[in-house]
Amino acid sequence: MKVYLDDERPTPEGWVPVRWPEEAIALLEGGQVTELSLDHDLGDDAHGTGYDVLLWLEEAVATRGFVPPRVRVHSANSSARRKMELAIERIERFVREREGTP
């Protein structure tokens, strides 16, 4: 399943729409997510952002051996986008280290 976290953009065909980080995390926990596309700003930072999903994913990969899906960022917030891209790089590094590849 391909999961699309966003509060405003239309969901691309073939993707499952989610509005809040906990919805994306619940689907990730189910183990069926193959791709994940994240927006950062979801209209209520107190409720969470796309970065919160990456923090959960990073912890799950680093400490529980979780196998992450392919992750991309579609946020228009340039500074948040960069922060999210760095988190994705850390997640990918954890996977490589676990697999013993450079």
pLDDT (0 to 100) of residue 102: 67
CB atoms under 10 Å from CB of 20, counted, come to 18
In a 3-state reduction of DSSP, which class is residue 69?
A: coil
pLDDT tens digits along 37-56: 999 999 998 899 999 999 99
Q: Which domains, and CATH codes, for the chain? A: 2-100 (3.40.50)
* Residues with pLDDT less than 70, the chain: 102
